[in-house]
Amino acid sequence: MIKQPLLIAGLAAASALALAGAARAAPHGQSDFIRDYDSNNDGVVTSAEFDAVRTTRLKGMDTDGDGDGRVSEAEYVGEYAARLDAKLAASTASAEEKAAIREGQLKQAKVRYAVLDGDKNGDLTTAEFAASGKRAFAEQDGDGDGVVKAGEPKRVTKPTAP
């Protein structure tokens, strides 16, 4: 017999995971990708739009004032946290669920940073950031025409080192 506290904890965890998908600041699904990067609201994302948003985000992450384009883990996570917090503020989740989602997503942001920092020197460079963006766009652009469209099948890509 399952004890009630264990059942409640399991349901809360499942709810948090479901809500995490809705509150994610980094788009993985195609509709989220289009919503996040379609800067002219025409329903598609061109490679130029994608690159412009990514460039703006990278500049926004480099907050130490030196303008060198190198981003520390704290800068990367801080920029992500600001976007996540805005999405969570609009969410109908409870305060407890939002806190759980935020905690989990920020842990994931640190994992993503570790993956993106290919040379593991603690500085995410413009080149490292651009390489991850190139892979992400290529995955969404199923037909390889430089435009991500709704309903376009994702391209299957082989994992490569950053």
Express each pLDDT in 47-79 by its tens digit.
999 999 998 888 888 888 777 778 999 999 998
Domain membership flag for residue 43: yes
Domain membership flag for residue 82: yes
Domain membership flag for residue 157: no
Domain membership flag for residue 112: yes
| Sheet strands (E) in the chain | 44-46, 147-149
- Number of structural domains the chain divides into: 1
Domain membership flag for residue 117: yes
Domain membership flag for residue 154: no
Domain membership flag for residue 86: yes
Domain membership flag for residue 160: no
- The one-letter amino acid code at 6 reads L
Express each pLDDT in 89-130 by its tens digit.
999 999 999 999 999 999 999 999 999 999 999 999 989 999
Q: How far apart are CA 162 and CA 159, in angstroms?
A: 9
The parent domain of residue 134 ranges over 4-149
